[in-house]
Amino acid sequence: MLYELENVLYMLEYGVFIYFPVNFAIFFLFRQFLLRNYAKSYKPYTNGLTRDKVKVSVIIPEYGENLEIFEKCIKSVFRNNPDEIIVIHDDKRKEIADISKKYGAKVISLNKRVGKRGALIIGWLNASGDIIVQLDSDTIMEDNTINEIIKPFADPKVAGVQGRPILFRTDGRIPYLFGQIIEYSRDIVVRALNGTLNVIDGKIAAYRRSYLLETIKDFNHETYGKSRLIVADDKALTYFANMNGYKTVYQATAVAKSAAQPTFLKFLNQQLRWARSGYLYLIKEIRSGLFLKMPGKYRFHMLTYLLAPFSFALALIDTLFVPANPTAWSWSHLAYFGFNIPIILYSLLIFIFGLYLSMKISFGILNLKLPDKMSFVDIITLGILGLFVIFPMFIYAAITHYGISEWRGSTYLA
């Protein structure tokens, strides 16, 4: 924030163009103001489809989940009283079957790995519900989540509904805080894009079974180039729904708590997977023509979100060609009035406090009310990691997005 202000003042005095404040204005301030403005009109469904008019199946794919977390997951589903619970697991642990049966779930134990897409398809084919709720095995429903998430299906055009996932801490503080910021920021995005979501998050989602069955072939045999896609199941289901003209909506009152990544490295790997799928499906949408059919706010979000790391890199490179250093320029002006500290220390202070102000302004614009208080050190740490770790990782993800078809080595159903 402070560095961008220095750049603006420097441009005004010397008449030179510097891209850094332009990047800040478009990809930070304007983007967030616009998303918040669109999000203001969002209202969750208060009336709609009720349990007495529909049968609900809950599907939980499981592989290698922590047993304690898994039991909390399935217990929370049991408390929601669905018509059936189906657990599909392929890690051959007897404990998973025992815990599942304890809560009345139907257990499908697989002898070989089929990947999450394959597990979901098996669940759809074995489910009897009109509405299928898909839940990650590390996600815990609130007591009224199912009643809330089915309400939008009163509209026959709705194919999929996104619940509201928030995180609970499992270990590391930084991945937990970073994850919370992402989830609370996504809450603003999905409010803004309600009706045409860019992704129905697989942590807690619901679909019409009729839509899932008509999509099985495309979902199971989806390709990118010559490669078969084996992950990004939530992006795929959202993509096909949007392609076929269905509504994809957000129900903020359908709350579930999902496990945060325990370490920053695992968090980074998760973000890499998500970023790769984001770039891949952006290209698919452009090639298929879907991108141009979507509302302007959808296109604006996708472009400013996925191009922001490239814009920031361009801004950094551009600073190398500025005739003089704007920070040195402002330092010299302050020194003239007796403010005399080493320029290195001054530059560091500009960076740290500017980053802190930018983060706080971001939270304020988006009206993010995080459940955990963050210290000055937390905010600076997250800001530095975001700019110099997450952004470069996004650029790497864009370059290697084709690798999405090879992750985890999962096999497919025939």
Average pLDDT over residues 293-318: 95
pLDDT at 4: 75
pLDDT at 345: 66
Q: How confident is the model at residue 361 (pLDDT cuts 50, 70, 90)?
A: confident
Handedness of CA 85, 90, 92, 93 (dihedral sign): negative
Q: How confident is the model at residue 112 (pLDDT cuts 50, 70, 90)?
A: confident
Average pLDDT over residues 35-56: 95
Q: Residues 95, 68, 122, CA angle at the centre, nearest 5°?
A: 55
Give residues with Cβ within 8 angstroms of 193, minimum separation 6.
38, 250, 295, 297, 298, 301
Q: How many residues does the chain have?
A: 414
Q: Between these two residues, 348 and 321, which has the higher pLDDT value?
A: 321
- Selection from 112, 132, 111, 137 nearest residue 121 by Cα: 132
| Strand pairing category for 204-208 and 131-135 | antiparallel
Average pLDDT over residues 63-81: 97
User: How many CA within 13 A on the CB side of residue 231?
Assistant: 19
3-state helix, strand, coil in the chain (%, to 5): 60, 15, 25
Lowest-pLDDT range of 76-90, 162-176, 287-301, 398-412: 398-412
Over 60: is that where the pLDDT of 414 sits? Answer: no
Average pLDDT over residues 105-122: 92
- Selection from 62, 50, 52, 160 nearest residue 105 by Cα: 62
- Interatomic CA distance for residues 311 and 314, integer angstroms: 5
User: How many CA within 13 A on the CB side of residue 109?
Assistant: 10
Give residues with Cβ within 8 angstroms of 108, minimum separation 6.
86, 87, 88, 89, 122, 123, 126
Q: Residues 17, 30, 174, CA angle at the centre, nearest 5°?
A: 100
| H or E element, residue 149 | helix 145-149
pTM value is 0.90
In sequence order, which ranges of 150-263 are alpha helices (DSSP H)?
173-192, 209-220, 233-243
Over 50: is that where the pLDDT of 410 sits? Answer: no
Average pLDDT over residues 330-348: 58
Q: Where are the domains of the chain?
A: 2-35+302-409, 51-262
Over 90: is that where the pLDDT of 370 sits? Answer: no
Over 50: is that where the pLDDT of 368 sits? Answer: yes
User: What share of the chain in percent tops pLDDT 70?
Assistant: 89
Give residues with Cβ within 8 angstroms of 345, minimum separation 6.
none
Query: Which CATH number is correct for 51-262, 3.30.450.40, 3.40.140.80, 3.90.550.10, 3.40.50.620?
Result: 3.90.550.10
Residue-wise burial string across 325-340, b where 16 or more C-beta atoms lie within 10 A, e elsewhere: ebbebbbeeeeeeeee
**359 near 36, Cβ under 8 Å?**
no
Per the prediction, the chain carries an average pLDDT of 89
The pair of three-digit structure tokens given for residue 359, joined into one six-digit string:
């983060």
pLDDT at 177: 94
- Selection from 160, 143, 153, 156 nearest residue 49 by Cα: 153
Q: How confident is the model at residue 407 (pLDDT cuts 50, 70, 90)?
A: very low
Q: Between these two residues, 66 and 359, which has the higher pLDDT value?
A: 66
pLDDT at 325: 66
The pair of three-digit structure tokens given for residue 23, joined into one six-digit string:
């990047």
Q: Which of 53-57, 88-92, 335-339 has the highest mean pLDDT?
A: 53-57
- Interatomic CA distance for residues 189 and 32, integer angstroms: 9
Over 90: is that where the pLDDT of 299 sits? Answer: yes
pLDDT at 343: 56
Q: Between these two residues, 15 and 105, which has the higher pLDDT value?
A: 105
Residues 242-269 pLDDT 10s: 999 999 999 999 999 999 999 999 999 9
pLDDT at 230: 83
